Amino acid sequence: MDKFRLYAGILMSLVIVLIVGIWHFRKAESRVDLLKEAFAQKYSGISSLESTVKAPSGKTVRYKIFSLPDASRAFFFLSSDFAPEVQGYAGAESVWIAVDKNGTVLDFNFFKTQDTPEYEQMVMDEKKRYLGKNIFNGQPFVEVVTGATYSSTGLSNALSLAGQRFHAALGCDGHDCASHNSVQAGKEASKCAHKFFHFFCHLFSGSWLATLIISLFALAALVIRYSFKQVPQWIRFIYLLAVILVCGVWLRAQFSTESVINILKLNFPLSPGIPFMLLLVIPVLMLFVGNIYCGWLCPCGAAQELAGFFVKARPPKKLWKNLRFIKYILLFVILALYFTGINTDSYRGDILLYGSPLIFIVIFASLFMSRFYCRNICPAGAFLSLFNPIQILARIPYFKNKISIFKPGNCDMGIMTFKEKDCLNCKRCNCDGNYRDSAALKGVKLVAYIAVCLVIATFVMMPVLKLNAAEGSSGLQEEIKLPEPALDKSKSFVDALKNRQSIRSFDTSKDLSTQTLANLLWAATGVNRESGKLTVPSTRNWQEITVYVAMKSGVYKYDTKAHKLIPVIKDDIRVNCGVQSFVKNAPVCLIYVAELSKMKDVRDSKEQTLMYAAVDSGFISQNVYLFCASENMATVVLGGVKKDDLATLIKLDKENQLLLFTQPVGYQASVK
């Protein structure tokens, strides 16, 4: 059995190395134009010019110039081109920024970031705090969003620093920046002030302080570990309590599966801060001393161990021996799902990520099974345990003698020998050697074992359930790449015209397959020629109508060029697509939106523009009618829609996007 586990571990490691290697190769092969990709997130339909400036690094970087409705110019650039050192909670931040000629923030969004999606969303929910502020004038602004301090501070720094540097770079290029002359007057003073501003930005974000604190905890752990033959319980109790309060509650310095993925992606932050310590410094330290994080620096592990101080119960070592391999299997599954692209949300099943309520069940279970989660389930701990066999210092006689005093024969976590990979190096080997389980604990143990099984089952199911639950990803659904249209050419167009009708009853038990959805959207407004033109006519080839697709899994935007669905929101809003009761029964509801920014022409009045939008959307709607008639499907156009409410739900820019009407699609309910 031991040989089987050894070979299985080696095989899993090789498979993970192969998968991660292929991921990096594909990433290198698929490098994209980052500026173009970022611009397309918001302004894909707006014409723009591209220009270049010298960044502070001396490198030539690009930015875009585009026109606002009042015909004035605006600028679009990436913060990482001008302030690459800015850090969020989990590493470097890159934000796309749109500003007018005076430096007023028009819009922005996270572009490339390692931050936790929940933190990003918390910041974006407070977007109005940042809009309208001037980032050219050299005045730093800091907007702290409670619960997402590092992410919000990183965003503030990205906007302010990148804005100043971009404006300074424009100064030599003759652009029409209204504030340019006033800034030039104090150019030398600004350089000096900028250095101080950058320094204080780091201090404010707590990055230097956090680095120092975590370093002191790591140093204290090493001193305690190598100074005592057996660590007194009171010292360890005080130390672990400090870890919980400082590293956990205050700094939130929790290593998780997300951290593992960032390490494997080689996303190493090089500026001081919590990510710098967790992703770079601590792993390098562990190469020399083994897994010092889990036993000494992990807030979750400290909470579990403190729970075990109060109730003494030791499960059979055979039970521990069999359960502890679960964490390695989970690590393998999560990494395989993530790096193959099958489910890039798989790591979010880790309860260490977002303060899941399951943490309280874990701590409760630790009353009866010491460090229950660490020992059996934690995939991040499984990854860190791989550092234990290395321990460069253990090969030096002085430290080797220090380590040799470990005697895990009495370990209350089932460790047989300190050479085991998942030994926490806590040096409490004999602390619990003088007690025996009382008869009163036998019933409690049974309940505890059941609790263990429930928590393990819950945790194992979390990543798996996310494979089929886009709504569980907090608005981060995957893009849906639609298959090529496959229409039945044998069906008569005349028959489609004969069968065309409005049907308002839908079969709730029948969904549209991905292929049917692909055929429907291509028929509605897909590309049918190499020129890029569509299956429907469009005024002056503006192609201004965007089709949003509302389904159970959320709302998506149909990208006609790429023939794919781009996620917009995770919520099922079909009930809001019309005031009629039957609307919610349709598996799909199409929402027609006119992109007014694509329809700028001085020859047209506002009334003419709206008329063109209505006519062009009508072409699409009729194509949908004919498709449904040929496929024995049901559809109806709805004008009875609370358009303002629906536009808010799908996050339309109401100044530049006009919601016209909706069209539910599905299969007709059988007539009884």
The residue segments making up the domain with residue 427 are 210-462
Q: What pLDDT does 628 receive?
A: 92
From CA 664, how far away is CA 598, in angstroms rounded? 26
Q: Is residue 48 part of a domain?
A: no
Q: What is the DSSP letter of 124?
A: H
Domain edge (last residue) among 205, 229, 248? 205
Q: Mapped to the 3 state alphabet, what secondary structure does 224-290 carry?
A: HHHHCCCCCHHHHHHHHHHHHHHHHHHCCCCCCHHHHHHHHCCCCCCCCCHHHHHHHHHHHHHHHHC
Length of the chain: 672
The torsion defined by the Cα of 98, 103, 106 and 111, in degrees rounded to 10, comes to 30
Which strand ranges, in their side-by-side order, compose the sheet holding 545-551?
A: 480-481, 564-569, 554-559, 545-551, 588-595, 657-666, 634-635
- Do 647 and 555 reside in the same domain of the chain? yes
Both tokens of residue 296?
């000494």
- Do 485 and 437 reside in the same domain of the chain? no
- Do 489 and 628 reside in the same domain of the chain? yes
Q: What is the pTM of this model?
A: 0.58
- For the chain, the farthest-separated pair of C-alpha atoms sits apart, in whole angstroms, at 92
CA-based nearest residue to 586, from 472, 471, 502, 523: 502
- Do 159 and 179 reside in the same domain of the chain? yes
CA-based nearest residue to 589, from 653, 658, 526, 511: 511
Q: Is residue 46 part of a domain?
A: no
Q: What is the DSSP letter of 70?
A: T
- Do 540 and 556 reside in the same domain of the chain? yes
From CA 666, how far away is CA 551, in angstroms rounded? 11
Q: Is residue 15 part of a domain?
A: yes
**DSSP 3-state of 49:** strand
- Do 522 and 562 reside in the same domain of the chain? yes
- Do 533 and 648 reside in the same domain of the chain? yes
Q: What pLDDT does 470 receive?
A: 37
Q: What single-letter amino acid sits at 221? A: A
Q: Is residue 47 part of a domain?
A: no
From CA 237, how far away is CA 244, in angstroms rounded? 11
Q: Is residue 671 part of a domain?
A: no
Domain edge (last residue) among 205, 239, 265? 205
Q: Is residue 40 part of a domain?
A: no
- Do 222 and 150 reside in the same domain of the chain? no
Query: Which runs of consecutive H residues, i.e. helices, occur in 404-484?
Result: 440-465
CA-based nearest residue to 405, from 389, 421, 394, 413: 394
Q: What is the DSSP letter of 174?
A: T
How many independent structural domains does the chain possess?
4
- Do 129 and 200 reside in the same domain of the chain? yes
From CA 361, how far away is CA 338, in angstroms rounded? 27
- Do 201 and 272 reside in the same domain of the chain? no
Evaluated on CA atoms 480, 582, 670, 522, the torsion sign reads negative
Q: How many CB atoms lie within 10 A of CB 5?
A: 12
Q: What is the mean pLDDT of each run of 10 residues along the chain (672 residues)?
A: 67 84 71 72 74 86 84 86 76 82 88 67 78 81 63 82 89 47 41 46 60 92 83 88 89 86 82 83 90 91 83 64 81 87 74 69 77 86 88 75 57 68 74 46 55 55 45 51 80 86 89 90 90 88 92 91 88 89 92 88 77 93 93 91 89 87 91 54
Q: Is residue 474 part of a domain?
A: no
Q: How many CB atoms lie within 10 A of CB 378?
A: 32
- Do 442 and 341 reside in the same domain of the chain? yes
Domain edge (last residue) among 158, 180, 205? 205
Q: What pLDDT does 145 receive?
A: 61
Q: What pLDDT does 285 receive?
A: 92
Rounded to whole angstroms, what are the CA distances from 481 to 471, 524, 559, 566?
18, 17, 10, 9
- Phi, psi at 175, each rounded to 5°: -80, 160
Q: Is residue 7 part of a domain?
A: yes
- Do 375 and 288 reside in the same domain of the chain? yes
User: Which CATH number goes with the domain that contains 593?
Assistant: 3.40.109.10
